[in-house]
Structure 1
């Protein structure tokens, strides 16, 4: 099993994108990759809000955007530590709001 990933895969990618590029499921489960969100793998293990937001980008749908504390932090603002636990994502109706561990969703 090759440990390298195809060079055309970005640092953060959706599992389906990797499978389409020929990466095995076994390789995607390897501990060298972080799994910050369901269906997403990352070469970076950053755990701050900025790193988590970047890791969420492959899951972000067309009618979704970062909001609340996450948006504030991404533009260089400050937010209390208690707001750094999840990525804030807002969905524009009629899009159903995102769900999953690590995602605080609104619509």
Structure 2
């Protein structure tokens, strides 16, 4: 999981439609069975998570230099919103400032 930068997060919207969003691992994660991503309050994704805790993540690793077959992974689980600043600090990776200049100090960041 660490070597795959982007995942596609799939959620169910309040109206029952399927929503997909690319999410970045930043290739700086230590995978322990939980995937952690950051998002802002007052977005459709946060509304989806609050409405329906089921989610799926899809990963695809690019073929290597020798054109090995790419690796695909799809998994399902439950998601939750964690607004705790200590938890954010534990799972923050370098490069978060690319999206949020104040990093984990960004107001309304989950």
The TM-score range, normalised by the shorter chain, is under 0.3
Higher relative contact order (CA 8 A, sep 6+): 2
State the TM-score, normalizing by the size of structure 2: 0.25
Bigger strand share: 2
